[in-house]
Every structure is written in C-alpha cells, then in structure tokens.
Structure 1
Amino acid sequence: MVYGKSNTNFERALKTHESHSKQWGNGFEVLRQDLATGFWNKPTYILHVLTQELMKAPRERAEWLMWVDADSIIINPDISPELFLPPADLSQIHFVGTRDENGLNTGIFYLRVSTWSISFLIETLAMPLYEPDAGLGRSADQDAMSLVLHKEIGGPSNQGYRDAMVLIPRLWINTYEREEDGYEGKRGDMLVHFPGLEETRRKHMGDWLDVVESRPGVWRCALEETEYWNVTREYWREFRAAYELWKEVEALQDTEDISDATWQAATDLKKILETEADDIVKIGQLRSKLSSTFQFEGVNS
C-alpha cells in the first residue's frame, strides 16, 4: 500500500517483496490510491482482492493472501512465505498473524482465501458504525481487527472468530528494527519491519536497503542453514496435537465422562491456542496437563 507523497525507500522496499513473490511463483499486488479514509484503506483493499480471488474457479484461486506493510524489507528471499502457513489438515485456521507488547500487529499477516475472511473484513470495516464506542485507537483498523478476531459470537458460524485465528512466533515473519536495540532478528530471517520509528524510519530503511541491494549475502542464506524447517514443522505438530486433544474433550462436554478439573484444563488449553499460540512451550505444558488428567479419568472410569 503506497500512495500519496513519493517515498523512494518504500518503492525500493516494495521491489524486494515483488522479487520475493516472483521467486516463489506468487502474485503481487500494490494499492496506489485511496479506497477509503486513512487506516481503513488496508482492510478495504484486502477485501477487494479477496473478493476477486473468490470469483475465480476454485482451481485458479490463491489459497492464502499475505499482507505486508510498505515499511518492511525482504532480507532473505530464500525463505518461502508459505513455510509458516498451517498444514492442509488444519483447515479450520483462516488467520495467521503475530502480536507484540502492544497486542496484535497487522503489519504482516496471512488470510485464507475464504468466505470466513470476507466476513471478518466486513465486520472489521463496519465496527466504527455498529460499535461506535469500541474505543479504537490511532491504528483504528488494527484495533478493529483485533476486536473482531476475539469475538465469540457472530461470524460465518455464529461462534465468533477466535477458533480460526493463530498467532505464531512474531520473529518468524514480523521481525522489528527497534530504535534503541536495533534488529531483533538474525541472519537467515525473512524480513525486517520498521513499525513505530516515525521520524527515523527513513534513515533506518535506507541503511538496510543499501546493504540488501549491494551486499545481499550479509543476510541471505539457504533454508537448510536456518532453523525454520525444523521449528515450523515442530510447531505445527504441537499445535495439531493440542487442538485434536481439545476437540476430543469438547466432544464429551455434555456427558458425565469428564470432571470439572479436566474441563478446566481443556478450557485453559483452548484459550492459549486462541490467544497465545506463539508460546509453544506453554501449549506443550497445558497439553501434557490435560492429557494426563484425561487419561487418568479414562483409566478409572
């Protein structure tokens, strides 16, 4: 999304994304004029692109869209953007994003091409009208997305959106350049993002672009030289195991086969999967706790 006053660094950054997309056989779209007011351009444009994709025959559609803000730069194009997506069997997931110390960050995220995503974006765009007292902050679109994602009612199935959202470890896809601490990532990471830098963003981006354009090997390396092939596979294995265990317990919710303690352990696990799935250690701990309780009751029933 680049429009308004010319910004050379944004254009240079977009070239890294365009090249990255071509390298991996993906499409690439840029919004270059206003469709709405201010921050609402982002969800409006994504809704437009999603609608265009869904109008295609199923075999011709993209499966996912990846949004990237213009103040981000691909520094290791040998990492596929698809590497971080959920396996095909986890089809209940429609939103893959990240959070930071302020909550959800929508600078970089994935949306499945689906009617779920259409519904999510429509509710996001409608929030200022149907919930005028929601208290949306400066980044109103981001706040609205977060509020909609955490709803437990509404949506395509009238069960809200939380169970279709996954927050993965932020450093995988949304690694920041910090004002005081510099880059929080390492060689081999896919990109660098510059949120919140304001007046110093131009200099930070310029310095990074100079390196990426003139000495790409400083940050670029093959996937097998990074940890990502292993950690992403392990992450989704753990997530799948936790999700399947939760669904197994949920199926018994209205029976007398589970205790209050087991149901509480299951509820705790579900909450983590929906709101803190970037903490794989916590997921593992809560899954083990629920599994132990559930198996104990099964043995003694």
Structure 2
Amino acid sequence: MNKGLQTRSRGFFKQKPILRLVVALVALFSLVQLFSKYPHATLLNNTPQATVGKVMMVYGNNPVYERAIETHKEHCRRLGYPLFILRREVLDGVWNKLAYLTSLIVQELEKPEDERLEWLYWIDSDTILMNPNMRLETFLPPPHLANVHILLSRDWNGMNAGVFPIRVHPWSIELLSAAIGYPYTNPEKTLAWAEQTAMVKLLAEHEYFAQSAVYVPLRWFNAYMRSPDGESLNTDSDEYLQVHPGDLLVHFPGTPAENFNNTLSPYLAIAEQHRSEWERPLEKTGYAKETARFWRKYGVKHGFELPSVPHVQEISHASQA
C-alpha cells in the first residue's frame, strides 16, 4: 500500500472509533460464519459424552508436524477427547487461531447445555504429547470457581499462548472477539507477538477480562524442551520451565524452521516408544496434589467457598474408570 494512503487510512480510523468497532464486528461475524462451514471434530473412540476438546491447526505436509499431531490423536483415542484440526489457512497466519476458537465456541453454545463441551484446549502444532494418560481435566478449576474462564502461563517473555484452556462461555467469545478486533480498534498500537500481544493488552486494560483469567505454572500444560536429546534437564535453562517425565506435553516455541525437524525428532522418538517413565498415571505425577493445592489457595484468596468433595478426587476417580 502507498505510504501516504496507509497513513491517511490509519488517521481516518483513529478519528472514527465507532466505525472501527463496526468494521471489527462485521469482520468477526463474517469469520464465524466462514469457520462454521469447516468440518467438525475428529472423534477417535466411542466413549461417553466428553466435556473437554482439543483444538489445533496445521498446514502443509511436513511429516514432523504430522507425527506430532499423531501423538495428540493417541491421547484423544485413550481418553475420549474430540480433536478439532484446522488444515486450511483462512486468515493471515496466527489470527486463524482465535477466529477458529471463536467459531467452535459459538457452535458449542448453540447446542443444548447437556450436549456441549465445557472447555476447549488450544494447542499449537509445535507440541508433542508426552503422557497420554494425563487427563486434561486435571488442570481445570473446580466447579465452584465458575468465574475462571481461561488459564494462561508465562515464560521469560511474559504470557505464552501456545497452549491454553478456555471455557465454552459467552465471556470467551467476548475476549477472543476483542483480540481479533484489536488491530482495528487500536491501530496506533504495536502488536509485537500478534494475537498473543493483543490478549495481553486486553487483560491489562480491562478488569472484566483480567478477573476471569488465571496464570498457572507453565509445566502444567505448556512445558518447554529440556536437553536436545530429551533424556536430561538442560542446565542452562530454568528447571521449572522444562518438561519432566509424566508431564502432559512439550512445546517448542521459537524453533527456527531449519532446525525444526532435528529439534523435535528426539522427543517424538520418546513419545512413540511409549516409555512407562513418561506415561505415568495421574497419581504418580504429583499433579493431583499440586493442582488441588493451587486451586484451594486461589479460592481462599478470592473468597470462594470450598466444595465438600475435592475436585482432584473426582478427576482421580475418572482416570481410573
């Protein structure tokens, strides 16, 4: 675009906040309609009605990506999670992520309440599922914390949105819609990490969003790689960020394209070997107690009454069923 025209265009939108909002809303409605025509989830077994689903996107025919996706499919086969995969780029790059999530939440909310998924886990395609015995419900807030709608994690750069669960709820549509529209409604602001920065800014600028977002330990569902061969911890990185045996998955953010195959291959080999030390049952990981303790402290801090039956006990029983 001509630089002068671009400057005038940005100035015009800056002076017309209502118009910017209308443009963003029209664009969002169009996106939801477009994504609603996309195929629904892959159902990988015949287990009873699931309450949690997984959402991913991957383009092209890179065999390493496909191997990584297969580890997630194995998790879904074992535990009965529907898997939604976007395989066609509709928008520019990472903005597909929020638009696809929005469309899926809208579709779920259209269903009768007893037929809906309750949570969707967004999972970037540069992840490998390391423990297919780990239930996604393990990390979710207990039922009495119904005000919590999204769980996020941080690294040295701040929030990392590579993996996060979000509740099927109108609040989630509002957050995702606001993030998608952020470049239009705030054209003067720089989004260094695109949709991730938009979400960070919304949480910082609006208490309505911030009060329903909770930061949890990164290792719960967004752990990073350890040593290059995956066999030991990396002494040059913080241990609390690195994947450990029994953890749900390993994420490889920022891996250069030319190193992608070599970086992921050792971890894919471990996952495909189904080693017992990595595929631990919940009760042998420490997460049952850790998550229960975390949510108990959160509830007390925010004045929520504790339930009579511990949430972690319900998850443990489900994992043994």
TM over 0.5: yes
Structure 2 alignment gaps of length 5 or more = 1-55, 229-233, 305-321
Corresponding residue number in structure 2 for 1:176 = 224
2:283 corresponds to 1:229: no
Q: Percent identity?
A: 35
Maintained 8 Å contact 2:57/2:97: no
The aligned residue for residue 43 of structure 1 is 98
Aligned partner (choices 129, 137, 147) of residue 201 of structure 2: 147
- For residue 208 of structure 2, what is the aligned residue in structure 1? 160
Candidates 99, 109, 118, aligned match of 2:154: 99
In structure 1, distance between residues paired with 2:121 and 2:195: 17
How far 1:3 sits from its partner (Å)? 4.1
- SS state of the match for residue 161, structure 1? helix
* Partner secondary structure for residue 150 of structure 1: helix
State the AA in 2 paired with 1:146.
Answer: V
Distance 1:179 1:214, change over 3 A: closer
Q: Which amino acid aligns with 1:76?
A: N
Matched, 1:25 2:80: yes
Q: 2:68 aligns to what?
A: 13
The alpha carbon displacement at 1:220 in A equals 1.3
Correspondence for 1:194 among 252, 255, 263: 252
Q: Is the 8 A contact 1:151 1:160 kept in 2?
A: no
Q: What is the CA deviation profile of residues 38-72 of structure 1, one whole-angstrom value per residue up to 9, with x for unaligned ones?
A: 11111011111111111111110000000100110
What's the offset of the Cα at 1:22? 2.8
Shift of 1:145: 1.3
**Root-mean-square deviation (Å):** 1.7
Task: State whether residues 187 and 218 of structure 1, in contact with CA within 8 Å, keep that contact through their aligned partners in structure 2.
Answer: yes
Task: Go from structure 1 to structure 2 and tell me whether the alpha carbon gap of 1:2 and 1:241 turns closer, same or farther (over 3 Å shift).
Answer: closer
- Aligned equivalents of 2:86 and 2:146: distance in 1? 29
Q: Once the two structures are superposed, what CA deviation does each residue of 1:239-273 show, in whole Å capped at 9, x if it has no partner?
A: 1000108xxxxxxxxxxxxxxxxxxxxxxxxxxxx
Structure 1 residue 132 displacement after superposition? 0.8
**What code does the residue aligned with 1:176 have?**
Y
For the residue of structure 2 that corresponds to 1:43, the secondary structure is: helix
Q: Where do 5+ consecutive residues of structure 1 fail to align?
A: 153-158, 246-301
Native 8 Å contact 2:76 2:83 kept in 1 = yes
Moved over 6 A (4+): none
Q: Mapping of 1:1-301 within 5 angstroms?
A: 1-137=56-192, 139-152=193-206, 159-177=207-225, 181=234, 184-198=242-256, 199-244=258-303
